[in-house]
Amino acid sequence: MKADSFDEAVEIVNGSHYGNAASIFTSSGKYAREFKYRVHAGNIGVNIGVAAPSASFPFGGQKDSFFGDLHGQGADSIDFFTDRKIVIERWI
């Protein structure tokens, strides 16, 4: 999906009910950094697509993308209330 402006790209991502992954392709470090902080998605790709989260990523989903069992004890209870982001970047 292509956006006409950076702000429109952020609106498209944040306007979705799902928050599994989002990617940006840019040569601007400013826009890459701002994208990582402004979008509501658990997996962020910079100059690389994020097809599916790796099994080693500590991610259960954001928004309506949440999956897995609810673990209500110990460290899992803190993780449940924590929005994590995994950022993968590729610069040439």
φ, ψ of residue 14 in degrees (nearest 5): -75, -20
- For 85, the token pair is 């982001």
The Cα 47–Cα 58 span in angstroms is: 21
Q: Is the pLDDT of residue 68 over 60?
A: no
- Tell me what pLDDT residue 71 has: 46
Q: Where are the domains of the chain?
A: 6-89
Question: Is the pLDDT higher at 89 or at 63?
Answer: 89
Count CB neighbours of 61 within 10 A.
19
Give 3-45 pLDDT, tens digit per residue. 899 999 999 999 998 888 899 999 999 999 999 999 998 888 9
Q: Residue 33: which of 51, 11, 6 has the closest Cα?
A: 6
pTM for the full predicted model: 0.66
Per-residue exposure over 9-30, b if at least 16 CB sit within 10 Å of its own CB, e if not: bbeebeebebbbbbbbeeeeee
